[in-house]
Structure 1
């Protein structure tokens, strides 16, 4: 609802006053950047209700209170403690050729982020097949970026910037999963993800794109 003061301003046609207001009231504010260093976090937290947009936030559960954050205000810190030897074998070649990489593991590890994604906020029946498509469209950084799972010493690569993009993954609604996040070298990475789905009601595709920043090493 408009306040009386807003109705008054809307009725004033003075260009001089408009110019003063434009200077006095900035159109945007500098967002506070939050660095996340350890604990549970859903890097890609997806919400959607029938007829609405797909919303992607960062589910920050690293503190005493869960907070949904705008991805543009978050830096995920991957510390030197994440530096690890790459297992031998060609199956692990996606982690680069240097023998070492930085990895946020899929298991909860003290001092590191336990990072994953969450689609429990997607309403049942809102999207066809009750799923979203998560697509890695671009990575800017000093080395390769990958997301993978590992079981019995064997990796399953879900996303890999080193073999060409985009990479896509179908994720069912009501999924909460943790994965390994790999970085070939130290430095700053910006990974761009598109999350999309098809509305069950009319077959229209709905999507959103967000950038995620990782500070490695």
Structure 2
């Protein structure tokens, strides 16, 4: 073999090896862009379902000029220092911890904070039995208690509370758009897991979707 042949053989072998490695080692998947929502209207759980289809749970982001539906895994909900409030006295408020203060995203629209709730208007009429979904809080990872509640006349109604055992379940009618209070006992990062399920009217089959929602508090 002459020198030219040896050089060509080495170059060819190198090209073949590079091609094999390119096939054998797949490119790393692109990382999703994380969006932090800081203030304005947002539906933490935006639920959609049509007859025969899956239950779809997304974040309905209305913080900008137009609505954007986002994968919950790409969203962080900011709960800033301005959300830190004194916990009212009385045993009815004990679910917000024993520190005297808690962080709360309020059920009323408040400047500088997220106005957070849920929306089931995307659930088709008659697609699910009783025209409702079951929203279940199955897990919370964080430094303190997490709760969802309403308040009227100074009296709270607790809908979900990680401090007294999970899971907690709530029946929500289709075509509901509601705002609630989101409470956090102390500052830190919380990951709340919600499962949304329903029973198909057509065949009695249960369909569900489970998503994690991240809140950065303090």
Unaligned runs of 5+ in 2: 1-17
2:172 maps to which residue? Answer: 171
Give the alignment partner of residue 25 of structure 2, picking from 23, 33, 36: 23
2:42 maps to which residue? Answer: 41
Query: 1:35 is paired with a residue of what secondary structure?
Result: strand
Q: What is the CA-CA distance between 1:157 and the residue it aligns to?
A: 0.2
Q: What is the CA-CA distance between 1:23 and the residue it aligns to?
A: 3.1
Distance in 2 separating the partners of 1:130 and 1:136? 20
Listed as ranges, the matches of 1:1-217 within 5 Å are 20-21=22-23, 23=25, 25-26=27-28, 28-217=29-218
Output one character per residue of 1:180-207: Cα deviation in whole Å (capped at 9) or x when no partner: 0000000000000000000000000000
How has the CA–CA distance of structure 1 residues 162 and 24 changed in structure 2, closer, same or farther, with 3 Å as cutoff? Answer: closer
TM-score, structure 2 as length reference: 0.90
Query: 1:57 is paired with a residue of what secondary structure?
Result: strand
Q: What is the CA-CA distance between 1:65 and the residue it aligns to?
A: 1.2
Distance in 2 separating the partners of 1:149 and 1:22? 55
Q: What is the CA-CA distance between 1:19 and the residue it aligns to?
A: 5.5
TM-score, structure 1 as length reference: 0.90
Q: What is the CA-CA distance between 1:54 and the residue it aligns to?
A: 0.2
Distance in 2 separating the partners of 1:208 and 1:154? 32
Distance in 2 separating the partners of 1:203 and 1:98? 46
Distance in 2 separating the partners of 1:175 and 1:102? 26
Distance in 1 separating the partners of 2:110 and 2:197? 31
The structure number with the bigger radius of gyration is 2
Distance in 1 separating the partners of 2:129 and 2:19? 51
Equivalences, count: 203
Unaligned runs of 5+ in 1: 1-15
Query: 2:93 is paired with a residue of what secondary structure?
Result: helix
